[in-house]
Structure formats: C-alpha cells, structure tokens
Amino acid sequence: MITEQEHEIVPRVRNWLEATSGEEIPTGLSRREARQRARRFLNCIFADHVNSESIGIDGDARDVLWCLVQELESEPTGHRTFEACDHAYQFASAISWGSDYFQEQADILHSIAQIGWRSAAGGIQYVITSRASIWEHGDAQRCHDPCAASSRLAAQIERLQGEDPLSAEAIRDICATLVNLPNARPLQAESLSASLYSVLTDGRQVGHLDDRDFLAGVASFLGGVARRCGGRWDSAEVWYEQAASAFRRTLEPEYLQRIEVERLALQYVRYENRSVIRKARGLIREITIPREKTKARFLLGSAQVGAGHFNEARSTLETVVNESSSTPVLRTAALIKLGAAISGLGLDAEAEVVFVEAARLTSGLEYPLLIGNLAGDMGEHLSRLGRLEEAAALYRTAWAAYRDAGMTSFTAYLAVLLAELLIHLGRNSEAEAELVGALGLMEQCHLDREGIAAVSFLREAIAKRRTDARAVRAVRDQLRKGFR
C-alpha cells in the first residue's frame, strides 16, 4: 500500500536523480582524511600554533571539527587537555558557519565544553554549581534598594570597559545581582542587560571555554525578562532567541528550559490563557530544573484563573504554594492567584484570608509587579462584592505600582479598569480624567487593529463628553486581546 507521504517523496527523489545525473556531487572528506586533519590541528594546538591554515576553513571543516571532538575525547584528563579544549572552543566559535540548520556548530561547541570542563580543576560539577548560584539570588526574599543596586551595577559594567581579559567570576557576580532587577525595575534592567551583553560580545577574552556564551546567554535572558515585565513584548522574543542561541553552545543546554518557561510567561501576560494551559502541561512533564517546573505550574494555575477554570486553578496553585516554600517571590505570587481562584469560586471569606497572607508576605518584598498584582486581584474581588470604593482605591494602588516600575501596558490597563469603576460610581469626570491620562500609554502599547480602533473611538467619545461604561469596557476588552 502506497501512503500519501510516498506519493510526495518518491517523485521528488526521482526528479532530483534526473536533474543531477550529469553532475559530480562532492562526497566530502573520507573519515580517514578528516581524522588526519583533526589530529594535525590538535598537534598545532598543543604546540600553541593555532591558525586557520591548521584546519583549512572550507566545506570540509565540519567533518574535521567533529573528528577533533573525538580526538579530544581520547586525550587523558588534565590541564593539557583543558588548555587544548579552550583553544579549540575559541577557534570553532569564531568560525562563520553561514546556514547551520542542524545546529552543528552548537553541538560541537557543547561537546568541546564538556570535555574541557571535565579536565578543569574541580570538574564539571564545580562549574555547574557556580553558575547555578546566579539563580539562587533570584530567590532572595527581597531586592534590597533596587535603585541603589541598579546604580552599582551600572558602575560595575562601566568599569569592565577598561579590562582585558574580562573576569568570568566578576561578570557572574554582576549577573547574580541583575537577576533580581527585571521584576523590580524593568526599565533599568533592560538597559543594564543590554550594556552587559555588549561588553560580552565585543571580542575580548572572557574566562575559558564557554564562559562567554554562558554569560551572554544570561544577559540576553534577563534582557528578555525585563522587556516582558516592561511590556516590550516583541523585543522580548528577540532577546529570548539570542539567549537560546548562546545557551545551545554551552555545557548546559538544559538552560533552554528557562527560556521556554519565560516564553510561556510572555504568552500569559498577553492573555493567551488557552495557549498557556495547553503548552504548560507538556512543559511541566518535560522540565528537569525544579524551580522552572514550579514556575510553569504557577503559569498554568494563573492561566486557569484567567480562563475561569477556578477549581483546577485552586488545585494547581495550592501545589505551587507547597513547592515554593524556599522561593518567597514565587510563593507570594502563587498566593495572590490562589486568592483570585478562591474568589472566583465564591468562597469570599476564605479568599480574603489568602489575600491577607499574600499582603503580609508582599510587605517584605520590593517588587512592584507583586504589589500591582495583589492590589489588582483584591480590587477585582471587592468589586464583585459591590465594595466599589474600596476596589477603586486598590486599583489606584495597582496603577501606581505599575507606573513606578515603568510597566506601560499594565498601567494603561489598570487606568481603564479604574475608569470603568468610577463610571459605575457616577464619577464620570474623574473617569474621563483617568482615561485622558492613559490614552498616551495605550497608544504606546502594541495593539492589534481592533485595539487601535477602540482607543480612537474612546478618544472621540471623551472629546464629545459622551464617555460611558460600554465604551470603556470595549477598550478594556480590546486591550486584553490586542497586546502583541
């Protein structure tokens, strides 16, 4: 029986054979010749005489480099092999491969890094542990004085301009402080991560083996997080891909899991709840980094709240609260969403107990995003109960938290929620004042065509003093759907 796929493939193969029947198709180097070239190149490395003529950068370079990996694997562990791997890594990473659809260069570099760090003092585990310490700072209970931290980081990065070579340990310490800033001061974190990435990619030596790529991956990743928190979502995806490209070349390509979870977070803030729910379930099964698995579960629970699946959300978020006892920021965020899920179930007294506990924990943290989320979700809870004045006060708190952090998209959305509530309270002039102040922010957001039309309609309604709850609600709904 001939399958549909065979109907497509067989004629294409036949056509290719007919088209190339008179052509001489290069078969590449023999395995023996590739191995000989790789051995000569390794001898040049040991003799400290490495240049492009040593290997011959042509169409056969990939075969030679794969054989070089095999030659390095056969060397005894020790300082001599570590140095050889370091030279080989820097050489192979500098080659311009052109199109590399199968990520061969990244695979080769990953293999060389593994062999090299295995021969380093302390071994692979020491490197993995020291790098993992960066993320432990992200679990700290608070970002102490984020403004002072950003000023200190700016000065440290500036000092790097005059250093050559660059110290991987010093840059790792910078990253360990920077990891706290995206959720506290996204605008500053965005600028600092871009400056650090520029330093790391200007051609100077950074540590050994894959140190440069690893640290560049961290800087890019944090730059993406900062852009996601600040509402610059299209730009965030560019930085995620930049980070992924760097991490693929390193000892620990499992760091790609962090990027996948961060992409899930980007979908969530875009209100793509169904997509988040669908994707999160698979990620949770696949992820091996415990903290990232918990984050993915948190995003699943948050999306379930957004989709109105309150029973499932409650179960998911209770698991997150239990799993995140050692990560205060994540635990607090989970409690906030758990309160929203319980509120959605109509268990008002129980929801308020959870919100109070979340508020207690939030008071010990300096993360505007958490303050905004708590105030916003509590405001929605009180609004549902008809306590509109209290809800309006909480919406103002959320709006101020997002504004102070430079979170444009969230600030615009909260202004619309507040205006809608003020109209229900009969305070139309106050509502219009809020909307006039927010119109500029709305136009800075990445909206789809319907979102732009809704904002234009609202602007016209305000000008004619015909603002009503229906017009504001239309903008609110389009803001939720239109962020891109």
**Residue 39 pLDDT > 90:** no
Q: 98-110: string of b/e by CB count within 10 Å (b at 16+)? A: eeeeeeebbbbbb
Of the candidates 230, 258, 286, which is a domain's last residue?
A: 258
Mean pLDDT of the chain: 83
Q: How confident is the model at residue 63 (pLDDT cuts 50, 70, 90)?
A: confident
What is the CB-side half-sphere exposure of residue 425 using CA atoms within 13 A? 20
Contacts of 40 (CB under 8 A, 6+ apart): 54
Tens of pLDDT along 412-421? 888 888 887 8
| Cα–Cα distance measured from residue 294 to residue 322, given in angstroms and rounded to the nearest whole number | 10
- pLDDT at position 16: 57
Structure tokens belonging to residue 380: 């929605």
**Residue 211 pLDDT > 90:** yes
108 assigned to some structural domain: no
Q: How confident is the model at residue 360 (pLDDT cuts 50, 70, 90)?
A: very high
Tens of pLDDT along 277-323? 999 999 999 999 999 999 999 999 999 999 999 999 999 999 999 98
Q: How confident is the model at residue 9 (pLDDT cuts 50, 70, 90)?
A: low
- pLDDT at position 438: 72
**Residue 228 pLDDT > 50:** yes
Q: How confident is the model at residue 1 (pLDDT cuts 50, 70, 90)?
A: very low
| Cα–Cα distance measured from residue 445 to residue 483, given in angstroms and rounded to the nearest whole number | 7
406 assigned to some structural domain: yes
Tens of pLDDT along 376-404? 999 999 999 999 999 999 999 998 888 88
**Residue 484 pLDDT > 70:** no
Rg (CA), the chain: 27
Contacts of 144 (CB under 8 A, 6+ apart): 366
Q: Residue 276 is which amino acid?
A: V
Of the candidates 238, 258, 278, which is a domain's last residue?
A: 258
Neighbour count for residue 17 (Cβ, 10 Å):
9
- Tell me what the mean pLDDT of segment 173-193 comes to: 90
Neighbour count for residue 459 (Cβ, 10 Å):
16
- pLDDT at position 473: 66
Q: How confident is the model at residue 180 (pLDDT cuts 50, 70, 90)?
A: confident
List, in sequence order, every residue forming a beta bridge with 166; answer none if it has no partner: 206
Q: How confident is the model at residue 362 (pLDDT cuts 50, 70, 90)?
A: confident
**Residue 445 pLDDT > 80:** no
Tens of pLDDT along 69-113? 999 999 999 999 999 999 999 988 888 777 777 788 899 999 999
340 assigned to some structural domain: no
Domain count, the chain: 2
**Residue 465 pLDDT > 70:** no
Cβ burial, residue 59 (10 Å; 0-12/13-18/19+): exposed
Tens of pLDDT along 312-353? 999 999 999 998 877 888 999 999 999 999 999 999 999 999
308 assigned to some structural domain: no
Structure tokens belonging to residue 344: 């959605």
- Tell me what the mean pLDDT of segment 199-215 comes to: 94
145 assigned to some structural domain: yes
Spatial contact of 396 and 371, defined as CB atoms under 8 Å apart:
no
| Cα–Cα distance measured from residue 104 to residue 59, given in angstroms and rounded to the nearest whole number | 13
Tens of pLDDT along 113-160? 999 999 998 889 999 999 998 987 555 444 556 667 788 899 999 999
Among the residue ranges 21-35, 50-64, 143-157, the one predicted with the least confidence is 50-64
- pLDDT at position 315: 97
- 3-class SS letters over 371-423: HHHHHHHHHHHHHHCCCHHHHHHHHHHHHHHHHHHCCHHHHHHHHHHHHHHHH
Of the candidates 215, 239, 258, which is a domain's last residue?
A: 258
- pLDDT at position 10: 67
140 assigned to some structural domain: yes
pTM of the model: 0.84
Nearest to 358 by CA among 341, 391, 334: 334
Spatial contact of 371 and 401, defined as CB atoms under 8 Å apart:
yes
Among the residue ranges 188-202, 244-258, 291-305, 417-431, the one predicted with the least confidence is 417-431
Q: Name the one residue in this structure whose structure tokens are 């505007």.
A: 368
| Cα–Cα distance measured from residue 319 to residue 351, given in angstroms and rounded to the nearest whole number | 17
List, in sequence order, every residue forming a beta bridge with 206; answer none if it has no partner: 166
Q: Name the one residue in this structure whose structure tokens are 């000092």.
A: 159
168 assigned to some structural domain: yes
292 assigned to some structural domain: no
Spatial contact of 321 and 331, defined as CB atoms under 8 Å apart:
yes
- What residue numbers bound the domain in which 450 lies? 387-484
